[in-house]
Amino acid sequence: MAETREEETVSAEASGFSDLSDSEFLEFLDLEDAQESNALVNMPGPSSESLGKDDKPISLQNWKRGLDILSPMERFHLKYLYVTDLATQNWCELQTAYGKELPGFLAPEKAAVLDTGASIHLARELELHDLVTVPVTTKEDAWAIKFLNILLMIPALQSEGHIREFPVFGEVEGVLLVGVIDELHYTAKGELELAELKTRRRPMLPLEAQKKKDCFQVSLYKYIFDAMVQGKVTPASLIHHTKLCPEKPLGPSVLRHARKGGFSVKSLGDLMELVFLSLTLSDLPVIDILKIEYIHQETATVLGTEIVAFEEKEVRAKVQHYMAYWMGHREPQGVDVEEAWKCQTCAYADICEWRKGSGVLSSTLGPQAKKAK
């Protein structure tokens, strides 16, 4: 059983994982149309009088006001981050900051790219199992569905050697990270391989900057998954960050599906205990191979594959640097001058203080860096 979305009463924030496949969030950032950059530069973007979350016009000065008080985690009311949040930072950190503060600027054509990519992911998932929609009304129910999926996927991986859409979560540098691994399977040599699918609107491989972001994303998946199977992720940490109530009884729909899966549970805490025992006692290995597969959306033709070398020291260093922004220890940074071409397709180019200042952030845009404790 795999669950793809909850009822409208539960948001993606409440569920703990986004409705869309984690691997498709960032495709729209890619500069597939680099040859058409001159035309794209002239496309209109958000003005200095953009619409806020309440649909009322806000000026940049009003937006900047008060940013020196709270960290981004506090200001955006975030209990955790997605793996793709950090992958976006790897592309452009300031774009990530604008995206959180001024959402809603995704162009229709870019949204269509995401929809197509998500459809391809769904088709691949249906090759392995049917999807079951489970109505939920609380965040505990939504997380319970994720735990049920994990409990069913672990034995499936061990017996059939192949699963898709595996949820991962873990504390990294004091912040909870969550995501969804596209595919896990055993090779003919018995190695556990992570395969990440990236869809391409045009029949060409991405630029190196895009590949760099993708490589960092799958490296984070391995980092978190390995910690899960090694017993380094704890229920206490998950409860601390998500504010879940483990004693809260599960809803009737969730209980019914739990019984169908052979699990006799009453609360989220019961499921959590089973999940963490299963992760550490099922002899799941760490991930041996990281592979990224690029395919053309229209023809499903494989354009190429990348085998990623996992460098734990480098991954940890990047995570520490990126988390310093989320914790409010430093201001967000834009791209280097050598990568200013990324701005050509950015929805926030017209209001970007970093771009206007030629690589210097306005002192009023970012929060005053908090002293690291």
Q: Output the CA torsion 92→93→94→99 (10° steps).
A: 90
Question: Each residue of 25-37: pLDDT tens digit?
Answer: 333 333 333 333 3
Tell which phi-psi region holds residue 224, choosing left (phi > 0), alpha (psi between -120 and 50) or beta.
alpha
Beta strands per DSSP E along the chain: 49-51, 57-59, 81-82, 162-172, 175-186, 192-200, 289-296, 302-308
Query: What b/e sequence results for 163-198 when a residue is b if at least 16 CB atoms lie within 10 Å of its CB, and e otherwise?
Result: bbbbbbbbbbeebbbbbbbbbbbbeeeeebbbbbbb
Q: Is the pLDDT of residue 49 over 60?
A: no
3 pLDDT band (50/70/90 cuts)?
very low
Does residue 12 belong to any structural domain of this protein? no
Taken in order 172, 93, 220, 169, is the CA torsion positive or negative?
Answer: positive
The answer to whether position 107 is within a domain reads: no
Residue for token digits 């033709």? 301
Residue 197: name the closest of 345, 297, 129, 86 by CA: 297
Mean pLDDT (the chain) is: 78
> Would you say residue 219 lies in a domain?
yes
240: phi then psi, degrees, rounded to nearest 5? -60, -45
Do the beta carbons of residue 362 and residue 108 sit within 8 Å? no
Q: pLDDT tens digits, residue range 141-157?
A: 999 999 999 999 999 99
SS3 191: coil
DSSP codes of every residue in 135-179: ---SHHHHHHHHHHHHHHHHHHHHHHSEEEEEEEEEEETTEEEEE
- For residue 317, is it within any domain? yes
Tell me how crowded residue 41 is: count the other CB atoms within 10 A of its CB.
12
**Considering the domain boundaries, does residue 38 fall inside one?**
no
Distance CA 273, CA 217 (A): 28
Maximum average pLDDT range among 126-130, 217-221, 301-305, 330-334: 217-221
CB atoms closer than 10 angstroms to residue 212: 14
Say yes or no to pLDDT of 202 above 90.
Answer: no
Q: Return the CATH number at 186.
A: 3.90.320
359-371 pLDDT tens trace: 555 443 444 444 4
Q: What is the pLDDT of residue 209?
A: 87
**Banded pLDDT at 288 (limits 50, 70, 90):** very high
Number of domains in the chain: 1
The residue among 75 and 58 whose pLDDT is bigger is 75
pLDDT of 18 reads 45
Residue 166 lies in a domain: yes
The answer to whether position 184 is within a domain reads yes
- Joined tokens for residue 178: 């969550």
pTM for this one?
0.76
Judging by DSSP bridges, how do beta strands 289-296 and 192-200 pair with one another?
Answer: parallel
Nearest in space to 72 (alpha carbons), one of 320, 338, 325, 269: 325
More confident position, 140 or 110: 140
351 versus 288: which is more confidently predicted?
288
- Provide the pLDDT for residue 355: 83
Distance from the first to the final alpha carbon of the chain: 44
For residue 354, tell me if it sits in a domain. no
109 has pLDDT over 70: no
Residue 358 reports pLDDT greater than 50: yes
Confidence of residue 292 (pLDDT cuts 50, 70, 90): very high
Give dist(CA 302, CA 322) in Å, integer: 32
199: containing domain: 72-102+115-129+162-246+285-337
Beta-bridge mates of residue 73:
none
Instruction: Place 119 in a pLDDT band, splitting at 50, 70 and 90.
Output: low
In this prediction, residue 73 carries a pLDDT of 94
Whether 175 shows a pLDDT value over 50: the answer reads yes
From CA 270, how far away is CA 251, in angstroms rounded? 14
